[in-house]
Every structure is written in C-alpha cells, then in structure tokens.
Amino acid sequence: MLDLRIRSLHQAYQSRTISPEALIRQVYDQIAQHNDPALWIYLAPLADTLDRVAQTSPDLPLYGIPFALKDNIDWAGTPTTAACPEFAYTPATSATVVARLCAAGAIPIGKTNLDQFATGLVGTRSPYGICRNLFCADYIPGGSSSGSGAAVGAGLVSFALGTDTAGSGRVPAAFNNIVGLKPTRGYISTKGVVPAVRSLDCVSIFALTCVDAQRVLQVAGGFDPEDIFARIERSPDQLKLDNLASLRFGVPDVLEFFGNQDAAANYQKTLARLQDWGCQITQINFQPYAEVAALLYEGAWLAERTAAVGEFVAVDRPGLDPTVKGIIRRGAAIDAVSAYRDLYRLKALERQIAQQPVDVLVMPTTGTIYTIDQVTAQPVELNRNLGLYTNFVNLLDLSAIAVPNGFQANGLPTGVTFMAAAWQDHFLCELGHRFHTELGGTLGATHILI
C-alpha cells in the first residue's frame, strides 16, 4: 500500500525513491486491484495522466500529487454528469478550483460517483452504482461525495474534491475513517460546479490527514471574481490552539445516536479527551440548531435545488433517481411568501443561537450509519437522520472539519466534527490534527499509521 500523504510523496520524489511517473503507474495498479467500478464515473487513461505528469514542474507546491474530483465539478475535456447520464456535458474549461490545483502541480486522475445532483447523504442515489463501503459491503459509503471519500479512504489518491451543502463533505469522511474539510462559504470558488443550493454550496476537501487538507486549502482557496458567491477572506480574531483552556467548546444538551451505543461511547471519549486538554465544555440548547437543519430540506432552500436543475428534472428520464427527482420537484411548490417566512425564521434562530455563545462546536459527524437495505427501505427518513448534525452548518455560515474518533465493535468507523465561525478554517485544521494524531490508528482503510 502506497503512502500517499503529500509530505511523504514529496520526500520520496526528492530522495528519488520513486518518480511521479512510477507513482502514478502504481496508483493505477491499486485502482485495478481495488476493483470497485462504482467508485469512478470517469477514469483518465493512464497515458493521458502520464502526459500531465511530464508537463508539471518539481518546484510546484503540489507537484505529482494525485487527486480525484466529484463528478459535479468541471474538468476541461471530460464529461460532467452529476451522476445523471442524460444530463452530461463536456466543459471547455475546468472549474476554478481544479484549474488552481492543476496549476500547482496536482494530477487529476478521475471523476468520482455521487448521489445524483449532490442530493443526499447516503451514496446510494446513482445510476452508476453504489460505491463499496471500505469496512463492510452491507453498509452505505456516505454521500453525496461517496466516490471521493472512498477513493481517499482506500488509499487510491492523496486527496479528493467533494461538495458540501448539507454534509456531503463530512458524512463520507466519517464512514471512510478520513478527514473532511468543509471550508467557509465562498472561500473556494464554486465556478464550474453544478449547483445544488447555490447560495450555500461549498467545495470540500477529503484527505488522509488534516495537514494535507490544510495544504490543499491553501492552494485551492482564494477570491474568484468570476464566482458571484465568492468572498474576500477577512481576518477575524483567530482562535489559537495554544490557548484551548480559554475557549468554550459547545456540546448539545440532547444527543441522538439512533440506538447506536458504540457511536455514543466514542463521542463521550472525544469529550473526555478535550477535557484532558483543559477545554471548557459547555452544554448548549441544540433545539435551534435542529430547527435550522430542518429548513434545508423542508423549507425555502429546497427551492434552490429546483432553481438549479428543476427544469431538467421536471421531465421524466430513465437515468433520474426517483428519490432525487421527488425531492427536487417538491421545491417548485415553494412560493416567495414562504421563502421570506423561512428566511425570517432562520434569522430568529440565529438570534437564539447567538445568545448561547461558544467558540467551537463539537458534535458527532453522524449519530449512526445504516445498511444499504435500510436506506433502500426508508430513503428520506434515514437520510434526514444522517443530516441532524450537518444540515445547519452552511445556513449558519460556519466552517467545519470532520475527523475520525474511533471504531465500533463491528469494525465500522465513527467521526466527530469541529465547527467554528467563518474563516476559522486553519484553526480547525490545527485542532483536528492534534485530535487525530493523539487518537492514532490507521489512515482510512489503509494499513498506514497516522
């Protein structure tokens, strides 16, 4: 198994232990051995990828680093499907984020499967199949960025791009025992990304470690004048890792693990570790967060999904996932009066939340995980359960990072998410790194120790 961490690869290149060309050949060998055709919607021919390697410079910050991207993100000359074959188009230019990464020397190798139109947290809503859960094939891989999470967790690429509107950059991280960074809205350009809820969409980063996620963010981020939702980074009072005892860590007063006692136990161990660090643990009223979370799929923001692809979905087509079709079509019934009322409700909930101030939120990434059969039987309800601790984050303009926090008795991983105000992304990477390294263990489903 290759060690695909960025620092490890650069050290290997510098010492001439391996060349980027040889590394890429081994990556393709590992993809073949992994043998999960549902993971990839498009895999670039090896010869084309080797040509890209030959055109990069060793001086670049991500020189020779292989990555994958979710197939709702444009890569020039390759089809973008959003997991719907009838929707496919071939863009002439790459998304801004892809162009920046390639200019920094990173090597794209393929486009990954997803819940269709990035609508879902389960990874089962695609006509291209269901990616294999790396730890037990009976279980879901997490979505909507299922292929990107699985590609990193299996050790097939160093990092992968996902998107995260409701939790799609965090849930697959939890289910694949990896890191999922959901940056501040507008930090990474969404130009060239098929929109889901355009005002909330974020490009997310999956990596084996928080250090790698942060390094990719440093290249991928930055204001894009061609993205109408891009924001110029501001400099708030940055939280400091060396002053954790002064920070207030908020935890929900009511927790729901949907009967999963192992996930509950791992979360309590997480809180105990934070207390050992001297952190202040403060209970918060979770009810307003839960109400915000419900607005994303049950309120006015559902209409944004209809605004994005509703005309396409309005026509019955053989490749449309029935659950996704039903969700997106519902948004057409939301009128302007309802939209304003939901906006006012969000503002009222924000005021309630502001009255119980904390510096960092610490929550389970998900309360549990489900089997494919369970999700097939209850596709909407169980998806809603998975979004309990994720759906509110973008509506409240938070930054977040999901990191592993242990395993269940059945061998499946669990995760915890640290959240903070906008533009605290780098602090969260440092916090996640300390937690992850102290937790120890292996990276993803590889045998490589952190």
Asked if residues 303 and 339 have their Cβ atoms less than 8 Å apart, the reply is yes
Name the band, by pLDDT with cuts 50, 70 and 90, for residue 7: very high
Asked if residues 192 and 434 have their Cβ atoms less than 8 Å apart, the reply is no
For 33-43, write each residue's pLDDT tens digit: 999 999 999 99
Query: Does residue 144 have a cis bond before it (omega within 30 degrees)?
Result: yes
Q: Alpha-carbon distance 158 to 209, whole Å? A: 10
Residue 237 confidence (pLDDT): 78
Q: Which of 58, 76, 82, 51 is nearest to 162 (CA)?
A: 82
Residue 403 confidence (pLDDT): 98
Residue 317 has pLDDT above 80, yes or no: yes
The mean pLDDT of 219-248, rounded to a whole number, is 91
- Token pair, residue 316, equals 């019955």
Give me the count of residues in the chain. Answer: 450
Q: Alpha-carbon distance 295 to 425, whole Å? A: 25
Residues with a catalytic annotation lie at: 70, 144, 168
Domain range for 372: 1-450
Virtual torsion, Cα 114, 115, 119, 125, nearest 10 deg: 170
CATH of the domain at 124: 3.90.1300.10
The mean pLDDT of 142-164, rounded to a whole number, is 98
The mean pLDDT of 424-439, rounded to a whole number, is 97
For 24-72, write each residue's pLDDT tens digit: 999 999 999 999 999 999 999 999 999 999 999 999 999 999 999 999 9
Among the residues of 177-240, which ranges form H helices?
A: 210-220
Name the band, by pLDDT with cuts 50, 70 and 90, for residue 152: very high
β-strands 66-70, 179-182 pairing: unpaired
Residue 376 has pLDDT above 90, yes or no: yes
Q: Which helix (H) or strand (E) holds 176?
A: helix 171-176
Residue 406 confidence (pLDDT): 98
Three-state helix/strand/coil letters over 397-416 = CEEEEEEEEEECCCCCEEEE
Sign of CA dihedral 177, 153, 23, 72: negative
- Token pair, residue 30, equals 């590992």
Residue 235 has pLDDT above 80, yes or no: no
Work out how many domains the chain is built from and give that number: 1
Virtual torsion, Cα 109, 138, 209, 67, nearest 10 deg: 10
CB atoms within 10 A of CB 400: 30
Residue 243 has pLDDT above 90, yes or no: no
Q: Which of 237, 234, 116, 236 is nearest to 186 (CA)?
A: 234
CB atoms within 10 A of CB 185: 23
Residue 234 has pLDDT above 90, yes or no: no
CB atoms within 10 A of CB 291: 17
Give backbone dihedrals phi and psi of 398, rounded to 5 degrees, phi first: -105, 155
The mean pLDDT of 273-296, rounded to a whole number, is 97
* % of the chain beyond a pLDDT of 90: 97
Helix axes 20-34, 46-54, angle to 10 degrees: 160
Residue 233 has pLDDT above 90, yes or no: no
Question: Using CB atoms within 10 A of its CB, is residue 196 exposed (0-12), middle (13-18) or buried (19+)?
Answer: buried
Give backbone dihedrals phi and psi of 86, rounded to 5 degrees, phi first: -75, -20
Look up residue 37 and give its amino acid: P
Residue 326 has pLDDT above 90, yes or no: yes
